[in-house]
């Protein structure tokens, strides 16, 4: 077969060359009969070449149309016996089609894989087009919204009009809270939305999370940690009391000195327990906040006037822009800064050090306040327990300063977090964020 293909190719090329030579010779020698034969041979060669180009063009158009329609199963006939050039073109085109078919199958497998994952997550996901048509929604989203099926936001029933309004008005990058009434009670959902463009089609992706489940898990975890600390502190206080009282009861006769020493130890331990209970009362009995507009530069000036910082430590405060305002309880917020500055002073110790308080306005209109110091960085194992009530690494520390500070920040519609060591060039940095 290869011999035949090569022979036909040689014949075509030879016919083209012979016709060209005969035509040129006949024109020069004015042999018009030979000229006519050479012209016919040249026309025949051009006609065969034109047929080949037409077939290649038809094959190429077929391929492009199939790719446009997402059909990669096209197969062009092998035509080696009739035309080696066209056969090579069709073979290459079939190879391209096979590669595209393999890629499509691999993509379908990935899509199925991601779809299975999406259907088994507890977070609800909805993809909505510009015309408010629901392109895709997983089972979690339908379950959270209490609807059996959703093809369009307009299909939401009358009792879900609040959800419809939330989906229509929520802008990309914003968060919203949504209340859904179910037979088991009211369900609170946290709704987030982002936007993207796929195949020149604007889409919005909504994620829905049941806030109550998250809060229940965090609340349970917090109570477990708090109970562990309470048991630890009470056992530490009661163990020596029980041991000492048992020892005193087992002695047949006690001298006045022994009785005095025993009662002194019991009294000291009792005082420690009373102090612990008093700290617990402070932690659980924060006054109700009375929020108002507070100028941070004025508040920080008041805190500096308390003279909490010793002379060997340099404190700098910077507010950008000037007169930056937050909405919070002035007295409770002052207590947060006092707690953080005292902790920073204790961390630095007797060596020279620096403390910096920087307040800025973020792009999302959140107010960020960084309280940093160059004392030793907090260990990772301690950082995980830092906001647990009564957890402390300092001798004689109460362990409620940071937990109370977090309570105050949450009540002020904000939060307090410990940033990783090295953030902004400081060993320790606490971030106060006001939403």
pLDDT tens string 350-398: 899 999 999 999 876 789 999 999 999 888 777 767 777 666 666 555 5
- pLDDT computed for residue 312 by the predictor: 93
77-81, 139-143, 188-192: segment of lowest average pLDDT: 77-81
Cβ atoms of 409 and 416 closer than 8 Å = yes
Stretch 263-270: mean pLDDT? 69
- Please check whether residue 178 is in contact with residue 163, taking contact to mean a CB–CB distance below 8 angstroms: yes
Q: Is 391 helix (H, G, I), strand (E, B) or coil?
A: coil
- Most confident of the ranges 21-30, 263-272, 352-361: 352-361
Residue 416, class by beta-carbon neighbours within 10 Å (0-12 exposed, 13-18 middle, 19+ buried)? buried
Report pLDDT digits (tens) over 238-258.
Answer: 666 666 667 766 776 766 776
Between 23-37, 78-92, 378-392, the lowest mean confidence (pLDDT) is in 78-92
Residue 133 DSSP symbol: B
- Mean pLDDT, rounded, for 64-80: 68
Q: What percent of the chain has pLDDT over 70?
A: 65
In the prediction, which pLDDT does 225 show?
60
**If you average pLDDT over each of 36-45, 133-142, 396-405, which comes out highest?**
133-142
Residue 365: what pLDDT?
78
**How would residue 407 be classed by pLDDT, with cut points 50, 70 and 90?**
confident
Q: Does the pLDDT value for residue 5 go beyond 50?
A: no
pLDDT > 90 in the chain, percent = 11
Higher pLDDT, 398 or 347: 347
CA separation for the pair 123, 94 (Å, rounded): 44
**pLDDT for residue 195 is more than 90:** no
pTM for the model stands at: 0.44
b/e map 151-186, b = 16+ CB within 10 Å: eebeebeeebeebbebbeebeeeeebebebeeeeee
């Amino acid at each position: 077969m290869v011999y035949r293909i090569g022979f036909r190719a040689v014949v075509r090329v030879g016919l083209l060359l012979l016709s060209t030579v005969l035509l040129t010779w006949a024109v020069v020698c004015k042999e018009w009969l030979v000229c006519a034969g050479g012209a016919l041979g040249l026309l025949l060669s051009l006609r065969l070449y034109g047929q080949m180009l037409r077939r290649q063009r038809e094959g190429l158009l077929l391929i492009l149309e199939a790719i446009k329609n997402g059909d990669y199963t096209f197969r062009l006939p092998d035509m080696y016996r009739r035309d080696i050039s066209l056969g090579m073109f069709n073979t290459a085109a079939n190879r391209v089609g096979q590669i595209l078919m393999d890629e499509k199958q691999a993509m379908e497998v990935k899509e199925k894989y991601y779809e299975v994952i999406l259907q088994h997550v507890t977070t609800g996901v909805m993809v909505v087009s510009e015309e408010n048509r629901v392109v895709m929604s997983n089972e979690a989203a339908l379950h959270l919204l209490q609807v059996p099926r959703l093809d369009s936001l307009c299909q939401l029933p009358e009792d879900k009009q609040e959800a419809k309004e939330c989906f229509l008005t929520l802008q990309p990058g914003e968060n919203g809270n949504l209340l859904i009434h179910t037979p088991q009670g009211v369900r609170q959902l946290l709704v987030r939305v982002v936007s993207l463009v796929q195949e020149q089609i604007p889409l919005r992706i909504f994620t829905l999370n049941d806030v109550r489940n998250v809060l229940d898990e965090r609340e349970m975890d917090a109570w477990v940690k708090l109970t562990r600390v309470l048991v630890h502190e009470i056992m530490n206080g009661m163990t020596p009391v029980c041991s000492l009282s048992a020892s005193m009861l087992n002695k047949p006769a006690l001298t006045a000195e022994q009785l005095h020493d025993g009662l002194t130890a019991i009294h000291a331990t009792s005082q420690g327990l009373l102090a612990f209970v008093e700290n617990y009362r402070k932690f659980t009995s924060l006054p109700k906040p009375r929020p108002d507009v507070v100028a941070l530069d004025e508040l920080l000036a008041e805190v500096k006037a308390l003279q909490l910082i010793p002379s060997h430590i340099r404190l700098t405060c910077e507010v950008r822009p000037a007169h930056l305002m937050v909405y919070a309880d002035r007295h409770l917020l002052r207590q947060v800064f006092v707690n953080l500055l005292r902790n920073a002073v204790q961390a630095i110790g007797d060596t020279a050090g620096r403390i910096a308080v920087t307040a800025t306005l973020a792009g999302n209109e959140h107010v960020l306040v960084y309280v940093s110091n160059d004392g030793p960085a907090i260990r990772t194992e301690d950082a995980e327990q830092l906001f647990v009530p009564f957890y402390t690494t300092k001798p004689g520390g109460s362990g409620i300063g940071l937990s109370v500070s977090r309570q105050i920040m949450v009540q002020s519609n904000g939060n307090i977090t410990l940033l990783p060591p090295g953030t902004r060039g400081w060993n320790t940095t606490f971030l106060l964020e006001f939403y």
